[in-house]
Amino acid sequence: MRHTYWSSDRLVDYQNRKLRYIVKYAYEHVPYYHGKFKEFGLKPDEIRSVEDLNRLPIVRKEELQKNADKTISDEFRSHDLEAESTSGSTGQPLFYYLTKSENEFRKAKLLRANIGCGQKPRDRWVVITSPFYATRSKMAGMQRLLRIFAPVTASVFDETDAQISVVNQARPDVLEGYSSSLLLMAKEIEKKGTEISRPRLVIGGADLLGDYERGYIEKAFEAPFYDQYGCNELEVLAWQCQEKGEYHIDADTVIMQFLDDDGEEVAPGERGEIVCTSLFNRAMPFIRYAIGDVGVLSEETECSCGRTLPLMKLVEGRTDSLIVLPNGRLVSPIVFILLMRGLKFFNNIDHYRIIQKKVNLIEFHVKMKKDVFDREIAEDELVRHFRKALNIDADRLAFEVEFVKDLSLDKSGKLAAVVSELKKRE
């Protein structure tokens, strides 16, 4: 928390020291980055400051996927690390690894963002999330025991009515979740006139919402909505404070660059591809990693809240269309992505796409990493897994699974994991 009020000079000095360490570490312990330095004729001591980063190549997810066995530090064995994966919004997840302390540090980063928009240690707190993540932190039990930052979780897979019931039972001061889930809850409240326990503040993330949708959530819950921006690999990257203005970049844990099509840094106020260098990942470093989004570095140098972290405007993020189930329930694509990540054989999937062909028909196109697997068993697990989570019978919604050799762009020219071919509904 103190870092957020450091002077600009002190923050830059801190970034440079952390950068020198992580670059040297990656060169000495990570075969992939050692090879990159050799390829470009660079030594780690040539990267002394943030400005020197531009001498290094941009790294993209596809390249890390192809070199998966070379991206982990030789100080660790992969089975001793905590394995995670990206959301798979393109249908091709990246698996990455963290030490236990790195993973707990990521959770502290999240708490700092929440505190920045007004959350207090003993606030009642409801989080709409995947049950896969709900109890994974080794600190979760202690937090519940002390009733400090102790969340009550509602499953993102549940019907909206069930999520509203959890909120009403817990009577939270803070309601947090995937932005699309919060929006669907807000629509249900307005549509049915459902009574809801009003939180003091609402925090969203993962999905990009426009000003209209954010206002809609605020009206439904009669509470301010604060947005957080991040990616699975690096956790939260930037967040709104109580001023509800532009986003504070977590510059003490990540160096965020905004680049044009030629890889040159754009000026503040200009749109650029977001490229990040993590300052805390050692198990699997991310150096000049393109996260696949576009944003704008703010022309403002300081927020009225007094925090001195640099600011960004969010221009483009991951945008999705909702899936309509036969019972009329609207489901965010992130629900399908999270369900895919819960499959037992998910680690063996190279690429996938989920296509809603009709209201009562959803197709799964799955490309496996290896062709040595029992397709019948895999198909049966996938269908049972989705049907159980969505609580929908076979006679109402059909799932068809096709194992393919390759996947191409969808009809819109995009590479998306979840695609609806239904006409847009109001």
Using 50, 70 and 90 to split pLDDT, how confident is the model at 321? low
CA 148/CA 122 separation, integer angstroms: 5
Whether residue 423 is predicted with pLDDT greater than 70 in this model: the reply is no
3 state DSSP class of 44:
helix
pTM (whole model) above 0.85: no
What amino acid occupies position 151?
Answer: P
Residue 287, pLDDT above cutoff 60 = yes
Report the range of poorest mean pLDDT among 36-45, 240-249, 323-332: 323-332
Is 119 among the domain residues? no
Is 268 part of any domain?
Answer: no
The structure tokens 């296509």 sit at 355
Q: Which residues pair with 399 in a beta bridge?
A: 362
Quickly tell me which residue has 């203005």 as its tokens. 245
| Other beta carbons within 10 Å of 232 | 18
CA 201 to chain centre: 21
Instruction: Read off the pLDDT of residues 77-135 as tens digits, 9 standing for 90 and up.
Output: 888 899 888 755 566 778 899 999 999 999 999 999 999 999 999 999 999 988 766 55
CA 333, chain centre distance (Å): 13
Q: What confidence score (pLDDT) does residue 375 get?
A: 86
Beta bridge partners of 83: 97
- If we measure between CA atoms, which residue out of 161, 143, 84 comes closest to residue 152? 143
Find the Cα–Cα–Cα–Cα dihedral 156, 160, 164, 165, rounded to 10°. -90
pLDDT in tens, 200-209: 999 999 877 8
Q: What is the pLDDT of residue 319?
A: 43
**Which tokens in the block code for residue 239?**
């967040």
Q: Strand pairing of 82-85 and 95-98?
A: antiparallel
Report pLDDT digits (tens) over 146-156. 788 999 999 99
* Structural domains counted in the chain: 1
Q: Which parts of 258-353 fold into alpha helices (H)?
A: 333-341
Q: In this structure, is residue 188 part of a structural domain?
A: no
pLDDT digits (tens, 9 = 90+) for 209-225: 878 889 999 999 999 99
In a domain, 176, yes or no: no
Q: What is the mean pLDDT of the chain?
A: 88
241 inside domain: no
| Cβ neighbourhood burial of 74 (10 Å; 0-12, 13-18, 19+) | exposed
How is 142-211 classified by DSSP, letter by letter?
Answer: HHHHHTSS-EEEEETTS-HHHHHHHHHHH--SEEEEEHHHHHHHHHHHHHHT---PPPSEEEEESS---H
The residue-averaged pLDDT of 177-190 equals 91
Q: What CATH number is given to the structural domain containing 409?
A: 3.30.300.30
Q: Is residue 314 part of a domain?
A: no
Sheet holding 289-297, edge to edge: 151-155, 125-129, 174-178, 201-205, 225-231, 235-239, 247-249, 311-316, 289-297, 271-278, 254-259
In the block, tokens 């989705």 appear at 386
pLDDT at 301 over 60: yes
Closest C-alpha to 353, from 414, 424, 294? 414
Identify whether 253 is part of a domain.
Answer: no
Residue 51: Cβ within 10 Å count: 10
More confident residue, 294 or 238: 238
Q: How high is the pLDDT of residue 133? A: 62
State the Cα–Cα distance between residues 2 and 230, nearest whole angstrom: 21
Residue 163 covered by a domain: no
Q: For residue 354, what are the domain limits?
A: 323-420
pLDDT tens-place string over residues 9-25:
999 999 999 999 999 99
